[in-house]
């Protein structure tokens, strides 16, 4: 089996949502949150941590999610964005005291704005802010 392509949490959420929105009965109000599991030096496997069907049909969207996620899990691993958190979690679960772990600062940051969510919340995002984003989700 070829190595899995690595995606960020935002990219994975976007992929899952893109697939869900193709399903009749799952509209734009659907949302998902991805979390890391089984992190190691090469990345992490992932799963859906939360799912909200919004105004869409919950049963239809949940069934579709059950088919979509395993297919995408075969293709993609979670990139470095959760790697350190997974390493820390593993160390803590193996008995290391959290106070004994070194403080590590992230070296890569992503600035992502979801315009659909901003509009739903009545927030107008200024053009100057949009200009400095790494990714804009509409």
Q: Domain spans of the chain?
A: 5-97, 108-138
pLDDT band for 43, please (50, 70, 90 cuts). Answer: low
Mean pLDDT over 75-100 rounds to 78
Here the tokens at position 96 are 């290391």
pLDDT band for 11, please (50, 70, 90 cuts). Answer: confident
Count the residues in the chain: 138
* pTM confidence score: 0.55
**What share of the chain in percent tops pLDDT 70?**
83
How far is 110 from 130, CA to CA, in rounded Å?
13
Here the tokens at position 63 are 């069934």
How far is 70 from 42, CA to CA, in rounded Å?
19
How far is 98 from 89, CA to CA, in rounded Å?
9
The candidate with the shortest Cα–Cα distance to 65, out of 1, 2, 128, 19, is 19
pLDDT at 84: 67
Radius of gyration of the chain (CA): 17
């Amino acid at each position: 089996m070829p190595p899995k392509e690595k995606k960020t949490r935002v990219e994975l959420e976007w992929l899952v949502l893109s697939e869900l929105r193709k399903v009749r009965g799952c509209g734009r109000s659907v949302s998902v949150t991805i979390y890391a599991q089984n992190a190691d030096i090469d990345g992490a496997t992932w799963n859906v941590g939360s799912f909200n069907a919004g105004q869409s049909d919950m049963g239809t969207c949940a069934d579709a999610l059950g088919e979509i996620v395993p297919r995408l899990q075969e293709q993609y691993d979670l990139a470095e964005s959760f790697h350190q958190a997974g390493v820390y979690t593993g160390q803590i679960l193996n008995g290391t005291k959290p106070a004994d772990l070194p403080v590590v600062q992230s070296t890569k940051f992503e600035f992502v704005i979801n315009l659909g969510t901003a509009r739903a919340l009545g927030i107008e995002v200024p053009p100057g802010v949009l200009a400095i984003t790494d990714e804009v989700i509409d």
